[in-house]
Amino acid sequence: MTRQELDALTLDGRDPANLRGDPITGDRYTSRDFMQREWDQMWTRIWHVAGRTAELEDAGDYVVHDFMNESVFCVRQEDGSIKAFYNACGHRGQRLVWGSSYQDRFQCPYHGWIWGKDGVLASAQDPEDFPQGNPCGKLKLKELRCATWGGFVWYTMDNDAPELLDYLAPMPELYRNYPMDTAVRVFWMKIDLDTNWKFATDNFSESYHTRTAHPQVPPWIDQDVDTARHEMWAGGHGRTVQPMRPSLSDRLPDGADHPFDAILRQWDIDPAAYPDFETKAMQGWLDLKAAKKRLWRERGYVHYENMDDEEITDSPHTVIFPNVTISFLPDNLVFFRTEPHPEDPGKCTFDLWCMAFPVAGQTEVESVMAGPQPLREASFQRRDFDQGRGVPEIHGQIVYQDMLLAEGQQRGMHSRGYRDAYLSAQETRVRFFHEVLNDYLEGRR
């Protein structure tokens, strides 16, 4: 796809003329009926992330993805491909696996049937006792479509869904310069939260809340409305691209330790050499691009090799419809995802995966959302948010601030006083998300 072709597909994510104006009512967050329609019309038709390809190195490695009351597992095959199966025994429905691991064959704990990695039944007790015929070699676990992009393993329950790369368009094109496949997941947590899953897509579709909710951000990512680029695409995806340089509107007091100074120094630029703050922010940002392009190879930043001028210093914060957000930074990916509770529309789980692009010689990386982390594949942690008490590791981090607000917003969704959102232009993508969701629910997709 050429740049022009891409531009022709890109909608202005700050222009409400691209919207119908569907109201964002409170019942969307609180009603069981609405939740059921989301399952029937949307969750069963989109592509889901089951895990990372790094979890499926060898044949027999598998990941389990529990989603509401459904469960799916994806298994690396002998030929290197990956197959996805519903996690229900073909005999009488027993769940076959409970957590990601490795198995050469899958033995059901109930009557002992053994399924191969390819989903075909390999053996059963008393195979000749079946009047309808010996099931071995004949019965197969119900398979789903499975594909990979960006080092993520995806599946869909819908045989008629578009191919993964078409579903994701134009993400594979936009992010082809990032070595997503080899990013190391250095922090991996799933958090139970008392809010509807949609808060996260709403929240990650706008940066209007940042100056209030995350005052620590503007000194290193420019949050000014006119310096960001807001984009969205017909599939429901969107992004905001922001320069990683200090905002000129939200200045730290003179003399305060400035995070941008540390970034400049890291690339041999003297922050004191600029005559004033504005010049440091604007010219320093250009000088940073030049320094990174000059020094990346000798510093071991091999992931800069294919990045363009924007990617090497900026932050495209990207929402993939309906529930995945990936924040792309020059040295990191942060993956956020919410998923609904099986029964309660007022609850969800929040996945936080911080991923780093390895740099030779670095043993510790900045994870962006969870502080410094050792450079190694992290182990999984499951937590209850418990008004923040359950996640001391991320206390005060950007994502923690969002979670606290999410629980408060969910309370407001129950109020008779709330009717619809009153959105700024820079929040256009919030309503766009709900309109694409409505398209699914009303059978227009």
Interface with Fe ion (CB under 5 A):
402
Q: To the nearest whole angstrom, how small is the minimum distance from the Cβ of residue 217 to Fe ion?
A: 8
In the bound state with ligand FES, the residue whose beta carbon lies nearer, of 73 and 113, is: 113
In the bound state with ligand FES, the residue whose beta carbon lies nearer, of 79 and 128, is: 128
Q: What is the CA radius of gyration of the chain?
A: 24
What are the structure tokens assigned to 294, written together? 């000059």
Minimal CB distance to Fe ion: which residue? 402
Write the single-letter amino acid at 53: T
Q: Which does 389 bind (CB under 5 to 8 A by kind): ligand FES, Fe ion, none?
A: none
Q: Which does 110 bind (CB under 5 to 8 A by kind): Fe ion, ligand FES, none?
A: ligand FES
Q: Which does 108 bind (CB under 5 to 8 A by kind): ligand FES, Fe ion, none?
A: ligand FES
In the bound state with Fe ion, the residue whose beta carbon lies nearer, of 87 and 323, is: 323
What are the structure tokens assigned to 17, written together? 């003329």
Q: To the nearest whole angstrom, how small is the minimum distance from the Cβ of residue 90 to ligand FES?
A: 7
Q: What is the distance between the alpha carbons of residues 384 and 378, in angstroms, rounded to a whole number?
A: 19
Q: To the nearest whole angstrom, how small is the minimum distance from the Cβ of residue 214 to Fe ion?
A: 6
In the bound state with ligand FES, the residue whose beta carbon lies nearer, of 122 and 421, is: 122
Query: Would you say 161 and 46 are in contact if contact means Cβ atoms under 8 Å apart?
Result: yes
Q: To the nearest whole angstrom, how small is the minimum distance from the Cβ of residue 208 to Fe ion?
A: 10
Q: To the nearest whole angstrom, how small is the minimum distance from the Cβ of residue 104 to ligand FES?
A: 18
Residues that bind ligand FES (CB under 6 A): 89, 91-92, 94, 108, 110-113
Among 266, 256, 316, which residue's Cα sits nearest to residue 288? 266
Q: To the nearest whole angstrom, how small is the minimum distance from the Cβ of residue 107 to ligand FES?
A: 8
Among 23, 46, 88, which residue's Cα sits nearest to residue 438? 23
Judged by DSSP in three states, 399 sits in helix
In the bound state with ligand FES, the residue whose beta carbon lies nearer, of 112 and 396, is: 112
What are the structure tokens assigned to 170, written together? 């134009």
Q: To the nearest whole angstrom, how small is the minimum distance from the Cβ of residue 148 to Fe ion?
A: 29
Whole-number Cα distances in Å, 207 to 100, 258, 317 = 35, 21, 9
Q: How many Cα atoms are found within 13 Å in the side-chain-facing hemisphere of 444? A: 8
Q: Which residues of 201-211 are buried (b: 16+ CB within 10 A; e: fewer)?
A: bbbbbbbbebe
Judged by DSSP in three states, 337 sits in strand
Cβ count within 10 A of residue 393: 14
What are the structure tokens assigned to 322, written together? 């309906």
Q: Which does 241 bind (CB under 5 to 8 A by kind): Fe ion, ligand FES, none?
A: none
Q: Which does 347 bind (CB under 5 to 8 A by kind): ligand FES, Fe ion, none?
A: none
In the bound state with Fe ion, the residue whose beta carbon lies nearer, of 156 and 325, is: 325
Q: Which does 380 bind (CB under 5 to 8 A by kind): ligand FES, Fe ion, none?
A: none
- 185: phi then psi, degrees, rounded to nearest 5: -80, 100
Q: To the nearest whole angstrom, how small is the minimum distance from the Cβ of residue 130 to Fe ion?
A: 56
Q: Is-cis flag, bond preceding 179, omega within 30?
A: no
In the bound state with ligand FES, the residue whose beta carbon lies nearer, of 114 and 423, is: 114
Break the chain down into helix, strand, coil percent, rounded to 5. 30, 25, 45
Q: To the nearest whole angstrom, how small is the minimum distance from the Cβ of residue 72 to ligand FES?
A: 17
Query: Would you say 250 and 217 are in contact if contact means Cβ atoms under 8 Å apart?
Result: no
Write the single-letter amino acid at 32: R
In the bound state with Fe ion, the residue whose beta carbon lies nearer, of 311 and 402, is: 402
Q: Which does 113 bind (CB under 5 to 8 A by kind): Fe ion, ligand FES, none?
A: ligand FES
Q: Which does 89 bind (CB under 5 to 8 A by kind): ligand FES, Fe ion, none?
A: ligand FES
Query: Would you say 332 and 160 are in contact if contact means Cβ atoms under 8 Å apart?
Result: no
Q: Which does 402 bind (CB under 5 to 8 A by kind): ligand FES, Fe ion, none?
A: Fe ion
In the bound state with ligand FES, the residue whose beta carbon lies nearer, of 112 and 408, is: 112
